[in-house]
């Protein structure tokens, strides 16, 4: 298995973890800021313990080795999560979903400008097909229905793209998982001043623990490990696995039966990702190369 294939599997697995967040939220009574606080606390604790076990006495050195990229990655992840909560407070899920579907395009452009990673027609076609799939899933939406706060969904995509490019541009062998710990600390600190974290119930606390440890904890750990192994544009495309799987978990876990648009759009996204994966596999075998090394930031 090539390093690029391992990276693709890790990113797809990360998106699978993220996709469980929607169904988990369905069973919560806590507000978004309270959920953000406790999810971030459990994230920081769980991934922090993992890093402590992994690096032991070298833990401070592991944090220091990331340099400014670790801070930038952590801030990007925290900002993306913050924008997501704020956007959903005033805009529909459909509107935010459409705006978030721009992640692959923004990632491809940013990866080209910052890292010098070129992308071909196959990547552009895959991006267009997946964005069309999102459009089919949500149907016609008014992007201004939530006011300017709804447009913050673009911030989710923008900061997500920044995180991918920052991690992709790190030196080979640098462990960026400690940045996940910092992102949890940053977001918990910020949300503590907005919400009322001490008012949540035991049930909501348990759900936040699941989300912090599994949904974002394991998800982000897999993600920052995988995106260093494949081009930024491809990583951005694979994150849309979350969009396809989220309705499935909502159906199985909360009884929300997906409509025909959801099934058709999800099928289009899966078909586009599958065709792109097959194309990249054939291209990689012909060239005999793994993912190209990015230009350092």
Q: How confident is the model at residue 289 (pLDDT cuts 50, 70, 90)?
A: very low
Which pLDDT score, from 0 to 100, does residue 163 have?
94
Q: Residue 11 and residue 253: Cα distance in Å, rounded?
A: 23
> What local confidence, expressed as pLDDT, does residue 15 receive?
92
Q: What is the pLDDT of residues 166-188, one digit of tens each?
A: 998 888 889 999 999 999 999 99
Query: pLDDT tens digits for 100-123?
Result: 778 888 898 999 999 888 878 888
Mean pLDDT of all residues in 10-15: 94
Q: Tell me the two tokens of residue 10.
A: 């890790």
The pLDDT value given to residue 254: 78
Summarised one tens digit per residue, pLDDT across range 243-278 is 888 888 888 887 878 788 878 888 888 888 888 877
pTM: 0.85
Q: Return the domain boundaries, the chain.
A: 3-285
């Amino acid at each position: 298995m090539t390093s690029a294939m391992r990276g693709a599997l890790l990113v797809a697995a990360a998106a699978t973890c993220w996709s469980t967040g929607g169904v988990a939220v369905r069973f919560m009574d806590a507000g978004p800021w309270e959920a953000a606080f406790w999810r971030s606390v459990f994230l920081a604790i769980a991934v922090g313990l993992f890093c402590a076990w992994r690096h032991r006495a070298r833990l401070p050195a592991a944090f220091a080795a990331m340099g400014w990229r670790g801070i930038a990655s952590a801030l990007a992840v925290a900002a993306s999560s913050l924008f997501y909560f704020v956007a959903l407070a005033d805009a529909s899920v459909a509107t935010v979903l459409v705006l978030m579907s721009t992640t692959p395009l923004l990632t491809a452009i940013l990866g080209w400008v910052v890292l010098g990673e070129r992308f071909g027609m196959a990547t552009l076609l895959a991006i267009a097909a997946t964005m069309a799939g999102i459009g089919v899933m949500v149907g016609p939406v008014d992007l201004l229905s939530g006011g300017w706060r709804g447009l913050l969904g673009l911030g989710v995509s923008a900061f997500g793209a920044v995180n991918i490019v920052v991690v992709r541009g790190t030196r080979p062998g640098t462990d960026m998982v400690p940045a996940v710990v910092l992102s949890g600390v940053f977001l918990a600190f910020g949300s503590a001043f907005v919400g009322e974290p001490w008012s949540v119930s035991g049930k909501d606390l348990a759900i936040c623990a699941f989300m912090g440890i599994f949904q974002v904890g394991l998800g982000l750990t897999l993600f920052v490990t995988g995106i260093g192994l494949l081009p930024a544009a491809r990583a951005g495309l694979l994150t849309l696995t979350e969009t396809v799987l989220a309705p499935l978990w909502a159906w199985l876990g909360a009884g929300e039966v997906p409509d025909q648009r959801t099934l058709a759009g999800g099928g289009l996204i899966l078909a586009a990702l599958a065709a792109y994966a097959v194309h990249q596999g054939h291209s990689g075998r012909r060239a005999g190369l793994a993912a190209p090394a990015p230009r350092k930031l």
